Copies of this chain bind each other. A is one copy, B any other.
Amino acid sequence: MTELKAVIEAFLFVAGDPLSLDKLADLTETDKTAIKDLIALLTQEYNRSGRGIHLVEVAGGYQFRSDPTLAPWLRRLQKERVQRLSAAALETLAIIAYRQPVTRAEIEYLRGVDSGGVMKTLLERNLLRILGKKDVPGRPLLYATSRYFLELFGLKDLNDLPTLKEFAGLDPELAEALPLEPSDH
């Protein structure tokens, strides 16, 4: 019986979403009354004062949630959540890293989409720097990666950036798809 209580506790923890009595009965191959009793026991244990996690009945099931009174503390964590680069940002950063210096038009040609917004984000996050203007009509800005970019990826300098060929070496299939010369358009 203790075992079963642990199993239910673990199921609720792992599922994340609320689990219904039916679902728990199904998963544990036990009848619902027994589960109900164990849930009552767990609820009692968790909902004592001094616990940061509560077991609550919600949306037709049971779920672990943080104690609502601790919300002011927990919000601190949310704010600090690791920021992740979107796929679009990663793609743009990759082009700039491997092709620098490049103009926005060149990036957009390669990606096939407007990249102004993404580039703005990258600039704001200090991953890019502006190298000057290209000597062609219209004098577009030239972009390159910043010092911070190197720090972030733990690179000594740009020569440390792995070439695609080095990765292609890991996978012969990749080698055939490589590499594209700078395109004039």
Contacts and interface: CB of A to CB of B under 8 A. Distances in A.
A140 B156 CA distance: 14
Interface residues of A, number: 52
A106 to B, nearest CB: 15
A74 interface: yes
A128 to B, nearest CB: 11
Contact of A9 (B2, B3, B53): B53
Given A27-B76, A162-B130, A67 B10 contact: yes
Contacts of A166: 140-141
Quick one: which of A2, A6, A49 has the most chain B CB within 10 A? A6
A41 B119 CA distance: 48
A7 to B, nearest CB: 5
Contacts of A67: 6, 10
A131 B154 CA distance: 7
A73 B27 contact: yes
Interface string A119-144: 11001000000111100000111000
A166 B133 CA distance: 11
Q: What are the 9 closest A-B residue pairs judged by CB atoms, nearest first?
A: A10-B52, A9-B52, A6-B52, A120-B170, A116-B170, A2-B50, A10-B66, A10-B70, A120-B171
Interface of A: 2-3, 5-11, 13-15, 27-28, 49-53, 64, 66-67, 70, 73-74, 76-77, 104, 116-117, 119-120, 123, 130-133, 139-141, 154-156, 159-160, 162, 166-167, 169-172
